[in-house]
Amino acid sequence: MRVVLVACMPLQPAGADPVLLLAAASSAELPLELTGTLLGDPRSSVGTGSCRALLQLPVGRTELRFGDCPPLQEGWRLRVRGRLRRPLASPHPLLAAPAERLARQGAFSQLQVQDFNVLERPATPVADLRRRMAQALVRQAGPERGGVLAALVLGSAVVPVPAELREAFRASGLSHALAASGFHLSVLLGVVLPLGARLPQPARLGLAAAAMGLFVLLAGPQPSVVRAVLMGALALAVLESGHRSRPLGILAASALVLLLARPDWLLDVGFQLSVVATAALVLSARPLELGLRRWLPGWLPGWLAAATAVPLAASLYTLPLQLLHFGVVPLYAVPANLVVAPLLTPLTLGAMALACLAVLLPPLLPLATVPVDWLCRLLVLVVQAFAELPMAQWQLGRPTPVLVLLLSLALLALVLPALGRRWRLLGLGLLVVAVAVHLSLLGADQLLLVHQGRLDLLVARHRGRAALVSSSADGFSCSQASQLARGLGVQRFDWALLLDPLAPEQPDCWRAQAGLVLASADGSLPLQPGQRLASEGLSAAPVAIESRAMELQLGRWRWLLLPDRQALWAWQERYGPGRGGFDGLWLGFRPSQRERTQLQRLGAKRIWLSGAFPSGWPETWAASGPSGSLQAVRG
């Protein structure tokens, strides 16, 4: 109970954290000078062109933001000057944001660095060893394959793998290959333990402990790494004492010890997936193998059942977590794992050997890299082939936590071998209910407003189809729209209407999101009076000349969209105050008292405002807040 309470409590900054200075100054930004120690090398932020690094302060932490990545290293002490601000909070649960990411790392502020001085460059042997290994592998095999080889040794949390390749591993259901976990530790111990088989017991245990300690040092104390090491240590201790090992008990004891020490790991996605996938192998891999042996044709080799049972069990058990956190299912995860399984063990061993050569015998590294690079090239080709298959990532949308709980209970009732026929029928019934409710929610008419800074996204849905209206056409807006689509279960928008007078920054990104993208190319309006952008049950049409005022139709709903004050004036000039009949009204600006009175005459059932809700306004109006969202659903 303590673990659950501590994990679910919102994280709070320490008493002298620099973010408290912002609250005391009642300011959004504050010029400040800080002194601290870098907790990692600066790393590029995907899609932004900027660079970031975490700085440990005497009390608390802050994230440093650089325009370009400077040649700084983990462990260096810096004096930095810049502007301190709070990180952006997520406007919607489906969108990732810096505030949530940094809070999990114990940081609650960001400093946009304007100048810095290096005060001290202490020795950092472990960080230097990681850096030397990773740089040597990338230099020999290139950024893609070298990044994969380095991740097989150090984990992708330590080594930056190119974003496109990382996404390909995710789409094919092979992300676990790049994450330091129990598989990598088992490969390492599979080499070390036979070498010490003839040694006395204390020496054997010492050798295994040294290997596990080295694994933690190189991969870092990530939740999945610590879980694997603790579980391996307990299992080894039980076996060496002459007792029978109980994998499920060892897993439960390991997870409990880690959660007592770090309750916040209960909400860590990596920890959840690691524990659940391991439980799947312990509980259901063998029963699934026996069942597959009975069902598969006799002419197929016997090893196929065992090889299929492992990824199938892990996929079934982690399915609720995949949907809860990502809203997508890698449809080809089982066959992809089946194909790459023969490659991963020799490739991991080869990558570990190359990492050792990079440190001990660098002249031999180019020659030794050739065969391992061939294997890695084959792995990358397989991963990309699966990722490019149709519906490689089946976007089902993120279900509500209640539906995820129902799905989890249903799957447990269906796959746990100890449960009888009655429980399986109950599980099948729960599965049908969960799927039916989720599909009904996806098929309902919905309008979602997401507001963040100057960005407004309106997602209209009708019977599973979706369309997008965006106030901005920059790359950040496209990225946010992509995240929303994935979380809502939208494979692709029917159309996207970009109201930004500037041309899109990343047209390829927008074209990947929608079947038809309508945007301004020269400052003119994307839609002219008399034109209409439409698909089945969804349409948008301008309602005034030389303005961005739009009428949005979704199913039987009619909404009036007024992004700015000019749109309101243009609409009033054309129709006057008398025209109404709208189900809803969206305002992208804060109207005056007189304008509020005029807008209330429209008789709209819902009036939405982007931004903070001023005091004294009508209670029937709703506001998104400075960074937030509003949603209306019609069954």
Contact 82, 114 (CB under 8 A): yes
Residue 523's pLDDT is 66
- Of 394, 411, 433, which residue constitutes the final position of a domain? 394
- Of 122, 149, 168, which residue constitutes the final position of a domain? 122
- Of 386, 417, 442, which residue constitutes the final position of a domain? 442
**pLDDT at residue 620 above 80?**
no
Confidence of residue 47 (pLDDT cuts 50, 70, 90): low
Residues 337, 251: one domain?
Answer: yes
Q: How many CB atoms lie under 10 A from the CB of residue 27?
A: 12
pLDDT tens digits for range 384-428: 999 999 888 888 888 888 999 999 999 989 888 778 888 889 999
Q: Report the distance separating Cα 107 and Cα 99, nearest Å.
A: 8
Residues 259, 367: one domain?
Answer: yes
Residues 184, 218: one domain?
Answer: yes
Would 462 be classed as within a structural domain?
yes
Residues 331, 221: one domain?
Answer: yes
Residues 288, 234: one domain?
Answer: yes
Mean pLDDT of 198-211: 83
Dihedral angle computed from the Cα positions of residues 186, 187, 188 and 193, in that order, rounded to the nearest 10 degrees: 70
Residue 419's pLDDT is 81
Residues 281, 191: one domain?
Answer: yes
Residues 110, 242: one domain?
Answer: no
Residue 304's pLDDT is 84
Would 158 be classed as within a structural domain?
yes
Residue 347's pLDDT is 92
pLDDT tens digits for range 285-320: 888 888 888 887 877 777 788 888 889 999 999 999
pLDDT tens digits for range 155-167: 877 777 888 898 8
Would 216 be classed as within a structural domain?
yes
- What are the Cα distances from residue 428, in Å, to 210, 405, 433, 562? 47, 14, 9, 48
pLDDT tens digits for range 505-541: 788 889 989 989 988 766 677 887 778 899 999 999 9
Residue 46's pLDDT is 63
Would 179 be classed as within a structural domain?
yes
Confidence of residue 382 (pLDDT cuts 50, 70, 90): very high
DSSP string of 316-359, one letter each residue: HHHHHHHHHHTSEEETTHHHHHHHHHHHHHHHHHHHHHHHHHHH
Contact 161, 147 (CB under 8 A): yes
**CATH code at position 104:** 2.40.50.140
Residues 29, 67: one domain?
Answer: yes
pLDDT tens digits for range 285-294: 888 888 888 8
Residues 546, 625: one domain?
Answer: yes
- What are the Cα distances from residue 228, in Å, to 221, 414, 418? 11, 27, 26
Domain count, the chain: 4
Cβ-proximal residues to 132 (8 Å cutoff; 6+ apart), any chain:
358, 359
Highest mean pLDDT among 157-166, 200-209, 490-499, 598-607: 490-499
Residues 146, 288: one domain?
Answer: yes
Cβ-proximal residues to 543 (8 Å cutoff; 6+ apart), any chain:
529, 549, 550, 551, 560, 571, 574, 575
Mean pLDDT of 485-498: 90
Mean pLDDT of 575-589: 78
**pLDDT at residue 358 above 70?**
yes
Segment (H or E) for 622: strand 621-623
Residues 281, 299: one domain?
Answer: yes
pLDDT tens digits for range 73-112: 999 999 999 999 988 888 888 888 888 888 888 888 999 9
Question: What range does the domain containing 39 cover?
Answer: 7-122
Would 311 be classed as within a structural domain?
no
Contact 206, 236 (CB under 8 A): no
Output the pTM of the full model: 0.84
Residue, of 554 and 218, whose pLDDT is higher: 554
Residues 494, 380: one domain?
Answer: no
**CATH code at position 618:** 3.60.15.10
Would 260 be classed as within a structural domain?
yes
Residue 508 burial by Cβ neighbours in a 10 Å radius (0-12, 13-18, 19+)? exposed
Residue 469's pLDDT is 93
Residue 404's pLDDT is 92
pLDDT tens digits for range 21-38: 887 777 778 899 999 999
Would 13 be classed as within a structural domain?
yes
Would 317 be classed as within a structural domain?
no
